[in-house]
């Protein structure tokens, strides 16, 4: 099968440090790894993609980012970039003649639909990580909110298949576009990166972490909805626990100030954005890994970090919200706490490192993740769904 992977989201660069960038590169590589010819069209990062990544693909076309902007100019740049992609990549896509255009849904993202209109018989499959018209309006504010919602509804309705990353996203798809054809394929992880890990002592030396401390780890972007503030509050009630934070984002200074105000800054280690090997080392160094999401009315994430935690075999403590309980086998693979409850999180952070049953659950979770949560498995599931749709057409 020939697959054109398309992403016009200016926040998802190739290569890039964000989880979304790693997700895009991982599923693209996985399509190639399981035997398909793959063309990638996306936004150029600050560096050249790794040769091993590019060489596995039939073609890579990365267009220059127009430059960072805010407010209405940000939205205008996104609209302009979509037109730019269609104008400059249409011939290349037609020449590649894909069976499928696999597009990551983006704000105002109509490029895939426009390209498929010129390709008789080509399927348009949308990967939906969130409904971005709703998400951006809620977290950033949108000047063109009505246009964003209209475009999103239309592309969801017209797509041959929308692949939602969680049941919550699937419900939102059908609320926004009742006639959309959708299915659910959860996110995965680059599980092979976690199959062979350094010893705890070696990992702590590598990262400059205390050799004898009890360590809780958080890996991910530092954004308001990730709940790192809840974890810092919990650290204030667990005097023997250190929190290691791997990642960066807009609330880093706020989190730093919170740790300082609570008198725990000496036990909260902000390591910043790190390479994949350092992420694996951090999880090897940790006694537990946290996904401390706050209480939210709408939670539709399929957190990449959760599958990485599981693949590393680090005992997981996570908020019981959205699809997280199901991903943790309803407690079979980790410990669940009420979302946003710092006291419950603190109690779990004291209990988990001392409980052999928690280590056993982590071992079960690791075996399950290494077997079932790799990106190759996700790529096979998606292409089988496309083939089934073709058979029913």
Residue 47: its pLDDT value, please?
93
* Cα 354 to Cα 154, 286, 316, distances in angstroms: 52, 13, 13
Domains of the chain and any CATH numbers:
2-188+374-392 (3.40.50.2000), 191-372 (3.40.50.2000)
What confidence category does residue 63 fall into, taking pLDDT thresholds of 50, 70 and 90?
A: very high
Tokens representing 272 are 């910043």
Per-residue pLDDT, averaged over 265-271, amounts to: 98
Taking only the tens place, the pLDDT of each residue in 149-203 is 999 999 999 999 999 999 999 999 999 999 999 999 999 999 999 999 999 999 9
Before 9, cis peptide (omega within 30)?
A: no
Other beta carbons within 10 angstroms of residue 316's beta carbon come to 26
Average pLDDT, the chain: 95
User: Is the predicted pLDDT of residue 392 greater than 80, yes or no?
Assistant: no
Taking only the tens place, the pLDDT of each residue in 17-56 is 888 999 999 999 999 999 999 999 999 999 999 999 999 9
What confidence category does residue 5 fall into, taking pLDDT thresholds of 50, 70 and 90?
A: very high
Residue in this structure with the two tokens 């934070």, named with its chain if needed? 245
Residue 369: its pLDDT value, please?
95
Query: Cβ contacts of residue 149 below 8 Å, gap of 6+?
Result: 133, 134, 176
User: Is the predicted pLDDT of residue 140 greater than 90, yes or no?
Assistant: no
Poorest-pLDDT segment among 13-17, 78-82, 88-92, 156-160? 13-17
Residue 241: its pLDDT value, please?
98
* pTM of the full structure: 0.90
Report the run of H or E that residue 327 belongs to, with start and end. Answer: helix 324-327
User: Is the predicted pLDDT of residue 393 greater than 70, yes or no?
Assistant: no
Tokens representing 160 are 């041959």
Alpha-carbon span 28 to 369, nearest angstrom: 20
What confidence category does residue 308 fall into, taking pLDDT thresholds of 50, 70 and 90?
A: very high
Nearest CA among 333, 367, 373, 325 for reference residue 352:
333
Taking only the tens place, the pLDDT of each residue in 98-115 is 999 999 999 999 999 999
Tokens representing 287 are 């006694």
The residues facing 316 across adjacent strands are 289
Nearest CA among 354, 350, 351 for reference residue 238:
350
């Amino acid at each position: 099968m020939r697959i054109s992977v398309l992403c016009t989201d200016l926040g998802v660069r190739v290569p890039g440090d964000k989880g979304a960038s790693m997700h895009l590169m991982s599923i693209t590589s996985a399509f190639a790894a399981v035997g398909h010819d793959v063309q990638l069209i996306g936004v150029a990062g600050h560096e050249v993609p790794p040769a091993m990544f590019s060489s596995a693909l039939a073609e890579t076309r990365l267009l220059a980012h127009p430059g960072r902007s805010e407010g209405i100019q940000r939205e205008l740049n996104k609209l302009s970039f979509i037109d730019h992609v269609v104008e400059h990549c249409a011939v290349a896509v037609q020449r590649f003649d894909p069976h499928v255009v696999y597009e990551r849904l983006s704000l105002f993202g109509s490029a895939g639909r426009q390209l498929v209109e010129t390709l008789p018989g080509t399927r348009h499959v949308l990967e939906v990580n969130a409904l971005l018209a709703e998400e951006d309006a809620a977290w950033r504010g949108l000047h063109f909110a009505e246009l964003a919602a209209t475009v999103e509804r239309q592309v969801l309705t017209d797509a041959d298949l929308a692949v939602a990353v969680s049941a919550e996203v699937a419900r939102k798809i059908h609320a926004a576009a009742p006639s959309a054809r959708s299915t659910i394929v959860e996110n995965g992880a680059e599980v092979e990166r976690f199959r062979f890990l350094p010893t705890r002592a070696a990992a702590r030396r590598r990262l400059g972490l205390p050799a004898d401390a009890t360590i809780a780890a958080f890996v991910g972007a530092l954004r308001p909805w990730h709940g790192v503030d809840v974890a810092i509050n919990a650290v204030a009630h667990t005097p023997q626990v250190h929190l290691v934070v791997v990642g960066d984002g807009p609330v880093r200074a706020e989190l730093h100030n919170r740790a300082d105000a609570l008198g725990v800054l000496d036990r909260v280690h902000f390591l910043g954005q790190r390479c994949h090997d350092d992420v694996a080392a951090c999880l090897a160094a940790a006694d537990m890994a946290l996904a401390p999401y706050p209480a939210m009315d709408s939670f539709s994430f399929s957190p990449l970090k959760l599958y990485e935690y599981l693949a590393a075999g680090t005992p997981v403590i996570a908020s019981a919200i959205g699809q997280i309980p199901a991903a943790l086998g309803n407690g079979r693979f980790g410990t669940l706490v009420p979302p946003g409850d710092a006291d419950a999180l603190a109690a779990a952070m004291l209990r988990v490192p001392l409980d052999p049953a928690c280590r056993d659950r982590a071992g079960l979770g690791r075996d399950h993740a290494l077997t079932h949560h790799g990106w190759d498995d996700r790529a096979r599931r998606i292409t089988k769904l496309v083939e089934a749709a073709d058979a029913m057409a």
